[in-house]
Amino acid sequence: MRAFIIIWLSQFISANGSRMSGFAISIWAWEQTGQVTALTLIAFFSLLPGILIAPIAGMMVDRYSRKQMMIVGDIAAILVTLMILLLYLTDNLQIWHLYVASIIEGTFSQFQELAYSASITLLVSKQHYTRASSMEFLSLYGALMIAPPLAGSLYAIIGFPGIVLIDVVTFFLAILTVICVHIPQPAVTQSPQVQTATIFSQLQFGFRYVTARPGLLALLTAIAWFNLALYLSDAIYYPMILSRTENNAIVLGSLMAAAGVGGVIGASFMSIWGGSSRRIHGVLGGMIGVGLNKIIFGSGQTVWLWIPAQVCASFCFPIFGGSEQPIWLSKVTPDLQGRVFATNQMVQKMSLAIAFLVAGPLADYVFEPAMQPAGHLAPIFGGFLGTGKGAGIALLYVLCAICMVLIGVGGYAFPALRNVEHSLPDHTANLSP
């Protein structure tokens, strides 16, 4: 586990840099356009290549050095970040440049993410899968707790270029760490016929593997629907807060910090507890907890309600994710994880892409006009959400949260999902030194 902790720490530092630059880019894009669509399209274009090339990336991660894949992904991220910085310094940066940069970075990050995810079973013993997954959420929410308020404070001092340079430095640190740490390759468990199958057959492998196992298919489907509602709410999070606080970056940064605090507490709790003996309870219960707290968050109109609701919602995420990922890690042998995890990531990124693609138009052209003082939804929902700027976005946010609760509760009605851990045996693959 020592090598995993070293890599995890470097990724945590890099995640802080990426969160800081992402925060700065979001503020800059919002200042330039004032439209939700502009922000959501940046995220959409970063996801699009991952959806298209995920099967190819999965096949390559299973065949070639996962360590090299991680290094190449980070190098590409550095080059793209430097390109954005150069355009900004020469006063040439435009919104469409961010779309192109997102496509390039998204392409290479797909390889990096898959290689890193599939390396966990090579670095961590099975009894520590839940703790390793919890540490991933600790990294995610630790970055949320640190990066946005830090970026919000530094934005007025060192500006956009200074924050982007910090991101570049953290990427270099991540690359050096991966270079220095040994990441073993998995032992091969497939037959020679499968290994030498056609490229097209290999690309289909992940889909065939999941669809042949009803429990994994049910889990994949439930997570995809949950993520669609979740990502829709995430896509409108920044605009909702900025529109209701007159573009107050300090308030937004504080809420990000609150999200980080809740996530760190939840991840620490999961790491100590180790999760439920039946992980599916953590998955579905976490969904319900996230949704309930997001309903409260979206209904609020003051930072004093937003902060505790955000802390509680973020607390539930590590319980949800820290229970889901170990199911995949324990049911799929290490040498197949690249392709199978690629299928999982592709489906989840499709949910994310759809959410970011429709969130902007829904917010800008449907819900915001409907929640203006003279809008047709204002008499119905204006009493508890208010009217005017940001009220329509808040209504969309609450509706998404209600869907999250329904998906979590409804999951118990499907035996294939409810019994996924009992219907599939854990793998017993040995790892190569």
Predicted confidence (pLDDT) per residue in 395-422, tens digit: 999 999 999 999 999 999 999 999 999 8
- pLDDT per position as a tens digit, 92-133: 888 888 889 888 888 888 888 888 877 877 788 777 777 777
Assess if residue 189 is contained within a domain: no
Assess if residue 102 is contained within a domain: yes
Look at residue 190 in the predicted model and tell me its pLDDT: 53
For the record, the structure tokens of 164 come out as: 């982007």
Element (H, E) at 250: helix 249-273
Integer-rounded Cα radius of gyration of the chain: 21
Alpha-carbon gap, residue 177 to 30, rounded angstroms:
35
As a whole-number percent, the residues of the chain with pLDDT over 90 amount to: 28
The string of DSSP codes covering 281-325 is HHHHHHHHHHHHHHHHHHH--SHHHHHHHHHHHHHHHHHHHHHHH
Look at residue 200 in the predicted model and tell me its pLDDT: 57
Q: Which CATH number does the domain housing residue 411 bear?
A: 1.20.1250.20
- CA atoms in the 13 A half-sphere facing the CB of 322: 35
Q: Which of the 8 DSSP states describes residue 363? A: I
30: which residues sit within 8 A by CB, 6+ positions away? 38, 39, 238, 239, 242, 247
Q: Which of 25, 429, 400 is nearest to 240 (CA)?
A: 400
Assess if residue 258 is contained within a domain: yes
Assess if residue 398 is contained within a domain: yes
- Cα-Cα end-to-end distance for the chain: 14
Which domain, by its residues, includes 336?
2-182+199-423
Look at residue 193 in the predicted model and tell me its pLDDT: 46
Look at residue 271 in the predicted model and tell me its pLDDT: 81
The stretches in the chain having pLDDT less than 50 are: 191-197, 430-433
Contact between residue 243 and residue 384 where contact means Cβ atoms under 8 Å apart = no
Look at residue 432 in the predicted model and tell me its pLDDT: 40
Look at residue 188 in the predicted model and tell me its pLDDT: 59
379: which residues sit within 8 A by CB, 6+ positions away? none
Assess if residue 192 is contained within a domain: no
Domain count, the chain: 1
Look at residue 194 in the predicted model and tell me its pLDDT: 45
Q: Which of 192, 159, 144, 157 is nearest to 18 (CA)?
A: 144
Assess if residue 29 is contained within a domain: yes
Q: Which of 375, 374, 372 is nearest to 388 (CA)?
A: 372
Assess if residue 359 is contained within a domain: yes
- CA atoms in the 13 A half-sphere facing the CB of 409: 8
Contact between residue 266 and residue 130 where contact means Cβ atoms under 8 Å apart = no
Alpha-carbon gap, residue 328 to 319, rounded angstroms:
15
Assess if residue 194 is contained within a domain: no
pTM of the model: 0.74
- pLDDT per position as a tens digit, 180-237: 888 877 665 554 444 444 555 665 788 889 999 999 999 999 999 999 999 999 989 9
